[in-house]
Amino acid sequence: MTLLESLHGPADLKRMGQGQLEQLAGEIRDFLIDRVRRSGGHLGPNLGVVELTLALHRVFDSPRDAIVFDVGHQSYVHKIVTGRREGFDLLRQPGGVAGYPIRAESEHDFVENSHASTALSYVDGLSKAFELSGDGRHAVAVVGDGALTGGMCWEALNNIAAEPGRPVVIVVNDNGRSYSPTIGGFAEHLASLRLQPGYERMLDGGKELLLHTPVVGRPIYAALHAAKAGIKDALSPQMMFSDLGLKYLGPVDGHDLVALEKALQAAKAFGGPVVVHAVTEKGHGYPPAVNHEADQMHQTDPIDPETGLPKPKGRSWTSVFADELAKIGGERRDVVAITAAMLRSTGLEKFAERFPDRWYDVGIAEQHAVTSAAGLAMGGMHPVVAVYSTFLNRAFDQLLMDVALHRQPVTLVLDRAGITGPDGPSHHGMWDLSLLGMVPGIRVAAPRDAETLREELREAVAVSDGPTALRFSKGSVADSVPAVERAGVVDVLRKPSDGADVLLVAVGAFAKLGLEAAERLADQGVGVTVVDPRWVVPAPRDLVALAKAHRLVVTVEDSGRHGGFGTALAALLRDAEVDVPLRDLAVPQQFHEHGSREEVLARVGLTAQDVARRVTEWAANLVADPQPEPAE
């Protein structure tokens, strides 16, 4: 039996000797590589925290002590240590362990939200609760150097530093990268600390020397020890943490189990807020990850054992956007691009390569990204801010009050809109249409294929009197879906020659799903007109006339139902006093567990078969008359 097989919980870990721990770390690395190559996932980040996680669970007593992982994508080792090794056979799949902490999975898991920069706020709150309950529990945050570029971290630090008696342990997992190298002044500060390896060791060495120097050694040591704090600050680089009043321990080699345990024990005993600065390497122990030129396998798809590379996928929505924006950049010098630490994965890399002085990486700081964009727009630029749909939530007030209130020409490109899949409930892009529908003056497009993405992106960056947004799904771009005719700004995708009772309005990537449903319904004798509104906020008025010419309107969208497109179109028809019944099919307003995109869509009833079945039910209830008004 391997040590990994004998590991059923943190207690087993605490009984292991140094040699066993080193062996266990190797077995865990082999296990991670094997499982993640098969299922996909965050291989790089988790290989980087093997020793750190083992040390954390040996020094602290989870779940009595709360260990909170920021983002949570680096919690695989934590899951292995807390008895969930078997669940990795179906990592990020239904029935297997999630790729992030899940409270229902284990009492050792505290935070499920994968949005970055929250861990310090959680441990601030937890430590206050532990202090009030007086049971001496520790609140420990594991926060990456990337997450530390998020504003919430500094809001939390401002509070944590104000309470010198509150035992908060902040473990900075510093591997120098988010996806790509972490940017900004703070990242440079951390780097300067990394470059002062073990000035603690230097101080300890001086102490040993003096204590062994006869006669004069001890008095000199005593004098220096009394002045240690001043000496240390003089020797150590200017440190933000200590200037904030936080005890700083480090930098510590994040792959040295002994050093890590020593630092964490000191932090645990300190009795106040303390930062342990662990220097780690993303992908550590696996050269294909360490040397991975783009992002050190921050997130890898399943790897083909034949080629040793991720399995090829179709052309992505992101790549279509990337190419078109780069072309636009050559035509429009005012167009600039902003990323929140996700240059490649949001498709801005090509633009950045072609226009090196017209793009900005602001760190994991979506709020700052949007308001900075408002500033760029006020200065005469047209910023394109590319973020994943779910992360726009973070910057809603900035969009509403810093961009839209000032009618600034900022374009948001929302990748991963709709159900994403393996990254679970906090990653599905199901909130953007509900949020954007509240923003006065914004115009939002939902392209259905590559051609409409190109067209609607150009239309968006041509708008100069207010914000615009585009939303498209994760993964491979939909096959081209041609229009058979236009009705104003609306594309008609299917129009039965013998008329139709049902108007099916399919939003964005769901155009193809709408057409497939219409074919199923035609086989059952139900006539369906399928249209793509293209611009979905505000709902286009051309849909009013189309609705009047049918007996039932059905909308289908890859977005949350509450405040979605269906809700908006129902309001438009109501205001136009059109009393054709409308039924809206959308993502149920709940948190949806991980699975593949297809599995989750099937789970929530958004397949062509589901749509056809629901429309059949609704069409069957249509009264015999009145006949629809003739098309205008």
Ligand X SMILES: CC(=O)[C@@H](O)[C@H](O)COP(=O)(O)O
Ligand Y SMILES: Cc1ncc(C[n+]2csc(CCOP(=O)(O)OP(=O)(O)O)c2C)c(N)n1
What DSSP string runs through 224-286? HHHTHHHHHHHHSPP-HHHHTT-EEEEEEETT-HHHHHHHHHHHHHH-S-EEEEEE--TTTT-
Strands 443-445 and 535-537: antiparallel
Helix (H) or strand (E) holding 360: strand 359-361
Q: How many other CB atoms are found less than 10 A from the CB of residue 61?
A: 15
**Nearer of residues 3 and 71 to ligand X, judged by Cβ:** 71
Q: Whole-number minimum distance, CB 361 to ligand X, in Å?
A: 16
261 binds ligand X (CB under 6 A): no
Tell me the per-residue interface mask from 524 to 563 with Mg ion, x by CB under 5 A, - otherwise. ----------------------------------------
Tell me the residue number closest to ligand Y, measured at CB. Answer: 144
Judged by CB, which is closer to Mg ion: 177, or 247? 177
**In the complex, least distance from residue 423 CB atom to Mg ion, rounded to whole angstroms:** 18
Token pair for residue 175? Answer: 């591997």
Pairing status of strand 490-494 against strand 485-487: antiparallel
What backbone phi and psi angles, to 5 degrees, belong to 357? -105, 15
Residue 146, interface with Mg ion (CB under 5 A)?
Answer: yes
What are the binding residues for Mg(2+)? 145, 175
Q: How far is the CB of 147 from Mg ion (least distance, A)?
A: 8
**Residues facing 339 on adjacent strands:** 361, 386
Does 114 sit near ligand X (CB under 6 A)? yes
**Backbone torsion region of residue 356, taken as left when φ is above 0, otherwise alpha when ψ lies between -120 and 50, otherwise beta:** alpha
Active site residues: 282, 366, 394
Mask for 410-429, x = binds ligand X (CB under 6 A): ------x---x--x------
Instruction: Give least dist CB 144 to ligand X, A.
Output: 11
CB closer to ligand X out of 237 and 310? 310
Q: Using the rule CB under 6 A, is 345 a contact of ligand X?
A: yes
391 binds ligand Y (CB under 6 A): yes
Q: Which stretch binds Mg ion (CB under 5 A): 111-119, 142-150, 257-265, 438-446?
A: 142-150
Contact between residue 176 and residue 187 where contact means Cβ atoms under 8 Å apart:
yes
* Sites for ligand Y among residues 116-135 (CB under 6 A): 116
Question: Is residue 394 a contact point for ligand X (CB under 6 A)?
Answer: no
Q: Dmax of the chain from CA atoms?
A: 110
Would you say 469 and 477 are in contact if contact means Cβ atoms under 8 Å apart?
Answer: no
Q: Which residue among 87, 146, 251, 447 contacts ligand Y (CB under 6 A)? A: 146
Closest CA to 52 of 26, 79, 25, 72: 25
Task: Kindly indicate which of the ranges 23-31, 142-150, 267-275, 572-580 contains the residues binding ligand Y, using the contact rule CB under 6 A.
Answer: 142-150
Q: Which of 114, 127, 408, 529 touches ligand Y by CB under 6 A?
A: 114
Stretch near ligand Y under the rule CB under 6 A, chosen from 99-107, 177-185, 484-492, 608-616: 177-185
- HEC readout, 498-528: CCCCEEEEECHHHHHHHHHHHHHHHHCCCCE
Percent helix / strand / coil, the chain, rounded to 5: 40, 15, 40
CB 300 within 8 A of CB 309: no
For residue 67, the minimal CB distance to ligand Y (Å) is: 15
| Residue type (1 letter), 522 | A
Q: Are 56 and 438 in contact (CB under 8 A)?
A: no
Smaller CB separation from Mg ion, 13 or 364: 364
Is the CB of residue 62 less than 8 Å from the CB of residue 268? no
d(CA 449, CA 460): 16
3 state DSSP class of 457: helix
Single out the residue of 177, 155, 193 nearest to residue 74, CA to CA.
177
Please report how close the Cβ of residue 342 comes to ligand X at its closest, in angstroms: 8
Residues in CB range of 153: below 8 A, 6 or more apart: 117, 120, 143, 147
Decide: is 145 part of the binding site for Mg ion (CB under 5 A): yes
> Which of residues 46, 74, 299, 371 is near ligand X by CB under 6 A?
299
What is the distance between the alpha carbons of residues 242 and 275, in angstroms, rounded to a whole number?
Answer: 9
Compute CA distances 111 → 67, 184, 289, whole Å. 9, 27, 27
Candidate list 175, 367, 420, 434; residue touching ligand Y; CB under 6 A: 175
**19 within 8 A of 76, measured Cβ to Cβ:** no
Binding residues for ligand Y restricted to 255-294, rule: CB under 6 A: 282
491 binds, among Mg ion, ligand X, ligand Y, none (CB under 5 to 8 A by kind): none
Q: What are phi and psi of 613, to 5 degrees?
A: -65, -45
Binding positions: 73, 114-116, 145-147, 175, 286, 366
Element spanning 338, H or E: strand 335-339
- Within residues 576-595, the interface with ligand Y by CB under 6 A covers none
- Residue 147 is encoded by which pair of tokens? 């997450």
Convert residues 38-67 into a mask of x (bound to ligand Y by CB under 6 A) and - (unbound).
-------x----------------------
Q: Which of 85, 92, 108, 115 binds ligand Y (CB under 6 A)?
A: 115
Instruction: Check residue 73 for interaction with ligand X (CB under 6 A).
Output: yes
In the chain, the N- to C-terminal Cα span, in Å, equals: 77
Query: From ligand X, Mg ion, ligand Y, none, which one binds at residue 474 (CB under 5 to 8 Å depending on kind)?
Result: ligand X
Among 127, 173, 434, 468, binds ligand Y (CB under 6 A): 173
Distance, in Å, from the CA atom of 30 to the CA atom of 39, rounded to the nearest integer, reads 15
Total residues contacting ligand Y (rule CB under 6 A)? 25
CB of 69 to ligand X, least distance (A): 11
Q: Kindly tell me which residue out of 268, 474, 520, 594 binds ligand X, with binding defined by CB under 6 A.
A: 474
Nearer to ligand X, 26 or 181 (CB): 181
In the numeric block, the tokens 């473990």 are attached to: 171
Whole-angstrom distance, CA of residue 182 vs CA of residue 176: 6
Binding region for Mg ion (CB under 5 A) out of 143-151, 419-427, 487-495, 573-581: 143-151
Q: Does 415 bind ligand Y (CB under 6 A)?
A: no
**Shortest approach of ligand Y to residue 415 CB, angstroms?**
11
x/- track of binding to ligand X for residues 350-389 (CB under 6 A): ----------------------------------------
* Binding-site ranges for ligand Y (CB under 6 A): 45, 71, 73-74, 114-116, 144-147, 173, 175, 177-179, 282, 298, 340-342, 364, 366, 391, 394
* Binding-site ranges for ligand X (CB under 6 A): 71, 73, 114, 299, 345, 416, 420, 423, 474
* Binding-site ranges for Mg ion (CB under 5 A): 144-146, 175, 177
